[in-house]
Amino acid sequence: MSAPIQVMLVDDHLIVRQGLRQVLGDVDDLAVVADAADGVQALQRVRQLMDAQGGPGLDVVMLDIAMPGRDGLDVLKQLKAEYPKLAVLMLSTYPDKQFAVRCLRAGASGYLNKSADPDEMVMALRKAAAGGIYLTASVAEALATSLSEVRDKPAHEALSRREHQVFLLLAEGRSVGQIAAQLALSSNTVSTYRARILDKTGARNDVELALYAVRQQVVSIV
């Protein structure tokens, strides 16, 4: 028989952690090996389990999104930065459309409402532990809608505030040096912004970038 899936619970409500322990404790292939009451404690405990020699290790973290101090989304990003292969299953009382897509983009292996059926939680844990992503019907719909909105959005709308400033000046025919002087930036910094802008808009040079800006009616031909 294979070793059970090692699970850690993170929620600031003791009664929620106890309830999840009770539910998961009845499943033969799951083992709750730790819990934490906040984001800081969660990160400390994960590091202990993941870095300990001969320790139980960890397969999946069930992480509440709404916690005092460091919220779940922040903790998720930190966990994925330190342990990219560690599965993190998000738990929330918020509607799926509000946070699900943000969590999935940050590396979550799934997003479940705390009112989910225990059998669904078990399925989600098993899929996450196996390296998959568990999507409920509502989360899949939210993700599809998000992808559709991204496809329909003009490329320049994905630029940051500073990138958009540089984009407009490049489209008006300003040189890197001129832009650097106007925005009080170094030429190297402006060149970096320029490279990002070309990549995001698909333009190969400043002429194509200017043509793109005219087509999108961001600047006008004088």
Domain ranges in the chain are: 5-149, 155-215
- Residue 42 to residue 46: CA distance in whole angstroms: 6
217 pLDDT higher than 50: yes
Fold type of domain 5-149:
Rossmann fold (3.40.50)
201 closest CA partner among 216, 188, 191: 216
Span of 142-151, 181-190, 196-205 with lowest mean pLDDT: 142-151
- pLDDT, one tens digit per residue, over 69-128 is 788 988 999 999 999 999 999 998 876 666 788 888 889 999 998 888 999 999 999 999
Q: How far is CA 23 from CA 3, 45, 70, 108, in A?
A: 19, 22, 26, 22
Which has the higher per-residue pLDDT, 116 or 68?
116
Torsion of CA 42, 6, 111, 65, to 10 degrees: -10
- Residue 185 to residue 187: CA distance in whole angstroms: 7
Q: Which residues pair with 23 in a beta bridge?
A: none
Q: Residue 44 is which amino acid?
A: Q
The answer to whether the 5-149 and 155-215 domains have the same CATH topology is no
Q: Are 215 and 200 in contact (CB under 8 A)?
A: no
154 pLDDT higher than 80: no
Fold type of domain 155-215:
Arc Repressor Mutant, subunit A (1.10.10)
Q: Mean pLDDT across the stretch 17-46?
A: 94
Span of 13-17, 111-115, 162-166, 216-220 with lowest mean pLDDT: 216-220
52 pLDDT higher than 60: yes
